[in-house]
Amino acid sequence: MTRIAVIPGDGVGAEVMGPTLRLLQTMNVSVGLGLVFDSFDFGAERYLKTGVALPAGQLETFREDYDAILLGAVGDARIPDGAHARELLLGLRFGLDLYINFRPCRLYAESLCPLKGKHAEQIDFVVFRENTEGQYNGIGGFLKSQTGDEVAISTEVNTRKGVERLVRAAFAWARRKGKRRVALGDKSNAIPAHQLWRRVFQEVAAEYPELEARHLYVDNLALQLVQRPESFEVIVTTNLFGDILTDLGAALVGGLGLGASANLNPDSTPLFEPVHGSAPDLVGQGRVNPMAMFLTAGLMLEELGHGAQAARLERAVARAILQGQVTPDLGGSLSTTEVTEAVLGHLEAPG
């Protein structure tokens, strides 16, 4: 038995969780995956009532009793500072020490790419984003707040341990998956602390002589992603830069409606979430794209050892895209429910 903690999230996050669980349950029955789902209402509604996003002791429960966490998008306009989303998402990432943020960027249909002349097979890369350090640690504050002399400070943290374990994970994944190229994106020419990233990258790269290891300043990397995305297979980068580059990557393959991610640590309970937001302007309209959540579920299946079923789910999504069975954000006219039915049909089709 594999226990999955389900946190539906807010807005469209909750709307696409139901269809995703439907797909997973279909696969659960058809091939006997042994998945058991438990739901937790750690969203905005609960926070507005209790002031708590992640209850005391919950991290230990997730760490000890669950094999994975499936999280819908979080965020609610009634909490304008995003406190509950930050407490929940960063609390899980930091509390479970999920130091790898893994985000694939794969083009399924050429029509979805805004670049001229790029074929589907030319854009297929993954980003290993550092997930527990960088500038997302909350270290800093304000001096003379709300005055003309206000000072805002945010401290970036980079440790040898944090950098090395992420870089090693990226190279190990590249070797395991038969990739040929690994690229580092940093800003070591302007941010001295990033020289640590460059040194570690070079040291680890020496242990993988069969792989091409490239160092790029992150601004140049962003430029190259637009001009020659086919030259990238694996990118490893900092927390902040990874957040930015993966949105750029999503734009190359069709938008955030296809953006899946996994938060990983081999020694902890993994967390899986789509990278789109809760999109309050789309709530209740039945036209939100569920495919990012479907692909995220596929990443979960892969991590849980069900690689064949993960590939089966991704093929079903790809077939729906290629046949134009998509929501308006991808140029189609189908509703969330209709897209779900289409993917279910492809999922159950032979081959």
Nearest to 20 by CA among 308, 288, 319: 288
pLDDT band at 20 (very low <50, low <70, confident <90, very high): very high
Catalytic residue selected from 10, 67, 243, 329 = 243
What's the pLDDT band for 279 if we cut at 50, 70, 90? confident
Whole-angstrom distance, CA of residue 39 vs CA of residue 219: 41
Give yes or no: 267 in active site.
no
Around 4, how many Cα atoms within 13 Å sit in the side-chain half-sphere?
A: 23
Mean pLDDT, rounded, of the chain: 95
**Rounded distance between C-alpha atoms, residue 319 and residue 314, angstroms:** 9
Q: What is the pLDDT of residue 15?
A: 92
What mean pLDDT do residues 149-171 have? 97
Instruction: Look at residue 129 in the predicted model and tell me its pLDDT.
Output: 98
pLDDT for 251 equals 97
Please report which confidence band the pLDDT of residue 77 belongs to, taking 50, 70 and 90 as the band edges: confident
Distance, C-alpha 52 to centroid of its chain: 24
Positive/negative CA dihedral, 227, 293, 101, 301: negative
What pLDDT score was predicted for residue 83? 87
Please count the helices (runs of H) and the strands (runs of E) in the chain. Answer: 11, 12
**CA distances (Å), origin 155, targets 89, 184, 290, 327:** 20, 22, 36, 41
| Average pLDDT, integer, range 255-268 | 97
- Count Cβ atoms within 10 A of the Cβ of residue 191 and give its class: 0-12 exposed, 13-18 middle, 19 or more buried: middle
- pTM of the predicted protein model: 0.95
Segment 291-321, tens digit of pLDDT: 999 999 999 999 999 999 999 999 999 999 9
Q: Is 270 exposed, middle or buried (0-12, 13-18, 19+ CB in 10 A)?
A: buried
Cβ(320)–Cβ(328) below 8 Å = no
The predicted structure's pLDDT at residue 76? 87
Q: Is 38 a catalytic residue?
A: no
pLDDT on residue 185: 98
Q: Is 97 a catalytic residue?
A: no
Q: Which of 97, 208, 217, 247 is catalytic?
A: 247
Domains of the chain from N-terminus onward: 1-101+260-351 (3.40.718.10), 114-125+132-253 (3.40.718.10)
Q: Name the strand (E) or helix (H) holding 241.
A: helix 239-253
Check if the beta carbon of residue 134 is closer than 8 Å to that of residue 158: yes
Cα–Cα distance for residue pair 320/311, rounded to 1 Å: 14
The answer to whether residue 149 is catalytic is: no
Does residue 30 carry a pLDDT above 80? yes
Catalytic residue among 219, 267, 281, 329: 219
> What number is the average pLDDT over the span 234-246?
97
pLDDT of 227 above 80: yes
Digit-coded pLDDT (tens) for 111-137: 999 999 999 999 999 999 999 999 988
Q: Which residue has the tokens 């401290």?
A: 155
Q: Considering 97, 187, 208, 217, which one is annotated as catalytic?
A: 187
Residue 284 binned pLDDT confidence (cut-offs 50, 70, 90): confident
Quick: pLDDT tens for 85-116: 888 999 999 999 999 999 999 999 999 999 99
pLDDT of residue 351: 63
Strands (E) across 51-108 are located at: 68-71, 100-106
67, 99, 136, 186: the active-site residue: 136
Q: Is 329 a catalytic residue?
A: no
What are the two backbone dihedrals, phi and then psi, of residue 160, each rounded to the nearest 5 degrees?
-60, -45
